[in-house]
Structure 1
Amino acid sequence: MDLNAIEMFVGVVQAGSLSAAASRMGIPLPTLSRRLRELERQLNVQLLERSVRGTKLTDAGTRLYEHASRGIEALLEGEQAVMSDQTRLKGRLRLSLPPSFEPWWDMLATFQRRYPDIQLHIFTTDRRVELIEDGIDVTLRVGAIAHETMVARRLLSYRHVLVASPLLVKRLGRPETPEALHQYPCAVWSRVANANGIWHLGEQVFEPRPRLSTNDYAHLRNRALAGDVITELPPFMAARAIQEGMLLALLPEHPMPEQQINLLYPSHRHPSAIVRTYLDFCQEQLGVLIEASTTKT
């Protein structure tokens, strides 16, 4: 089997298209396409489905990529170990984060100050990424894990908090029960335009009739601070405003459900030295994150 062709195949998968891979690897596009066709003929299987939107792995291509990428990563690590006695980590780390996940921004800045030769690429999305197809090394996932092909490292749990500004409470009064929220303007987090959302408040379920829905918690915080709405926020986005009296935590006796934070990486791939370092760093920094995620009501 042609190892150069295998490396080209892995590069195409990670780049997402033949043209992007050719540019990244400095190989003429016709040459790259020809070498991949030769590899497919040699293996007698189709590895990639090609379209105007890029390339997609077939089942056979996925199996080959799982083994080939692991082997190439191991070879690169071996090459780096032989060529240099330096202990400083060098390379690129591709991460996925939810939008507005502010504590991680500070953690990543600290990470790069400690490891200045690691280049970070951050893909921000509220959808569940496909690590191989999206070219991601580690994704941060909020919520339950149901993907058996991933290794999950659980970091911590937290609860969202229901908040409103003192201006709104002064104008409308403080709600004493979940049912009373029907008398207040509400805003909810939602991916879907026609979804009203559901708030689980202790043992009770409340279905808001929102005047605003968005998949951006920063937008919800902005409207809450302005005194326009009651909304739910992750604790790390509400803590400072609550401590400074700009927001009030509502119905603390009706806590919202726990949310889990996990770091995920592919189970078939032996994590590189950079990935292992990042996972260990996040675990080490948990104390800082937990402190930032604690609200004082």
Structure 2
Amino acid sequence: MDFNAVALFVKVVQYGSFSETSRRTNTPVATVSRRIQALEKDLGVRLLERSTRRLRLTDAGTSFWEYANQGVEAFETGLSTLDRDQLDLSGKLRLSLPPGFIPWRQLLQDFQSCYPNVEFEVLVTDRRVDLIGDGIDVALRIGDRKHEHAIAHRLGAYRHLLVASPSLLERFGIPQSLEDLLKIPCANWHTPTHSNTWQLGAETIEINPLLQVNDYLHLLDLALAGLYVTELPPFLAHTHVENGNLIALLKDYPFPLSELNLLYPSRMHLSRLVKTYINFCSDWAVNLFQT
């Protein structure tokens, strides 16, 4: 059974004629008549008695209209509520963020300042999330554009910085080459699938880290304590480099670009809330990272 035909039948009864229904719904009269006839054929009963001057419900039509009208009213109320919610941007966003991604804390605050009726549920993890299974609307990820069940929206790219504290460099000297770098105690970001190498410029060097951890905030603390040379994302390192607590090393040997992406399940049927969040992130991130 065609629900649109049922809804059209309800309108015909409300407006009293095919022509008035045609005018109010912007549907040709011939289409209105054809759909009502198809509905009657599907139901196997006659719903309306037609004459040149008026329409009259049959007994079967009266019984059917009472239930159909309730269903159409409930459906239209649901659509109205949905449209109102979308207009007000209320609801919950289920997000995933990598650990230590400090700038996004401010982004979420700015988003909620603009849209105070939006709630966030945030899963902080560096694992590859199952967007559908974990119920995630949008995941922020560094790299990881290849995902069989996700669309990737590129926000930008940035380079990590190789940094050490002045106190550590007083002990070991400022490295002028990759060979000098290997003489300084180092710590690095690590997961079971992450190798103990740094790609610096065109060179890939094997390092022997004394500490490995999948937490850049931990690495920042270790660098500030003067214990290790390490790599840090620019949003964690820049302030400390500017105030002299850390020194950026071997600038002629830059780390490769790291891409920042939003992952979401599909381009189709995205809610206005999710679309607004994606656009907000795109605008917000324009000047966030320097490459």
Fold match, TM over 0.5? yes
In structure 1, the residue matched to 2:101 is 101
In structure 1, the residue matched to 2:282 is 283
Q: Contact conserved, 1:196 with 1:208, CA < 8 A, in 2?
A: no
How far did residue 267 of structure 1 move?
Answer: 2.0
For residues 124-170 of structure 1, the C-alpha deviation after alignment (integer angstroms, 9 at most, x for no partner) is 00111010011100001111411133111100011111000011111
What secondary structure is seen at the aligned counterpart in 1 of 2:239? helix
How far did residue 268 of structure 1 move?
Answer: 6.6
Which sits farther off after the overlay, 103-112 or 176-185? 176-185
What aligned pairs does 1:182-221 form with structure 2 within 5 A after superposition? 182-192=182-192, 197-221=196-220
Q: Contact conserved, 2:159 with 2:233, CA < 8 A, in 1?
A: yes
Over the aligned positions, Cα root-mean-square deviation in angstroms equals 2.2
Letter in structure 1 aligned against 2:219: L
Letter in structure 2 aligned against 1:229: Y
CA distance in 1, matches of 2:285, 2:259: 13
Corresponding position: 1:88 with 2:88: yes
Query: Greater Rg, structure 1 or structure 2?
Result: 2
How far did residue 286 of structure 1 move?
Answer: 1.8
CA distance in 2, matches of 1:95, 1:254: 35
CA distance in 2, matches of 1:264, 1:76: 33
For residues 110-129 of structure 1, the C-alpha deviation after alignment (integer angstroms, 9 at most, x for no partner) is 00111000000110001110
In structure 2, the residue matched to 1:78 is 79
CA distance in 1, matches of 2:170, 2:129: 43
Change (3 A) 1:272 1:123: same
Q: Contact conserved, 1:163 with 1:249, CA < 8 A, in 2?
A: yes
Q: Contact conserved, 2:160 with 2:231, CA < 8 A, in 1?
A: yes
Q: Percent identity?
A: 47
Structure 2, unpaired ranges of 5+: 1-75
CA distance in 2, matches of 1:206, 1:156: 26
How far did residue 79 of structure 1 move?
Answer: 4.3
Letter in structure 2 aligned against 1:146: K
In structure 2, the residue matched to 1:133 is 133
| TM-score (normalised: structure 2) | 0.70
What secondary structure is seen at the aligned counterpart in 2 of 1:263? strand
In structure 2, the residue matched to 1:63 is none
Q: Contact conserved, 2:186 with 2:210, CA < 8 A, in 1?
A: yes
Change (3 A) 1:91 1:136: same
In structure 2, the residue matched to 1:259 is 258
Corresponding position: 1:243 with 2:242: yes
